């Protein structure tokens, strides 16, 4: 196990003094990434678990959620679809714990808005599609 000065830890494969291959990184806020690393960056398939137990599983590129992936929030909301630079972007499906569902083309977020009610989120998604 490698211990960083900032409190993060890494356990896994190394190549040329960089994280490379399969590994597990835990940061100082207890966010855990487990998956592929390439030249020191999260790259390929991986799983990210936040301290509130929300989980993203899918593709990473250059340390960011990018490609296809699924995010399950601790409160039961689920987004599965396209990601670009840590943002939901492109085609996707959003489900709420009460079984409501939004499926759309060109789903786009400037950032995740946890404070939005499901109704406001659907309205914003529909407006952003235009």
Give the separation between CA 108 and CA 34, rounded to whole angstroms: 26
Determine whether 78 is exposed, middle or buried from the number of CB atoms within 10 Å of its CB (0-12, 13-18, 19+). middle
Give the separation between CA 38 and CA 50, rounded to whole angstroms: 22
Tens-digit pLDDT profile for residues 4-31: 999 999 999 999 999 999 999 999 999 9
- For residue 106, the model assigns a pLDDT of 56
pTM score: 0.81
Give the separation between CA 40 and CA 17, rounded to whole angstroms: 9
């Amino acid at each position: 196990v490698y211990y960083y000065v900032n409190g993060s830890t890494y356990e896994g494969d190394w190549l040329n003094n960089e994280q490379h291959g399969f590994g597990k990184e835990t940061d100082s806020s207890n966010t855990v990434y487990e998956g592929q690393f390439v030249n020191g960056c999260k790259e390929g398939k991986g799983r990210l678990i936040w301290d509130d137990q929300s989980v993203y599983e899918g593709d990473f590129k250059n340390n960011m959620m990018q490609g296809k992936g699924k995010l399950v929030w601790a409160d039961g909301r689920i987004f599965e679809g396209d990601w670009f630079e840590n943002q939901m972007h492109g085609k996707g499906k959003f489900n709420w714990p009460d079984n409501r569902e939004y499926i759309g083309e060109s789903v786009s977020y400037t950032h995740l808005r946890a404070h939005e009610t499901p109704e406001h989120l659907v309205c914003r998604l529909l407006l952003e599609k235009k």
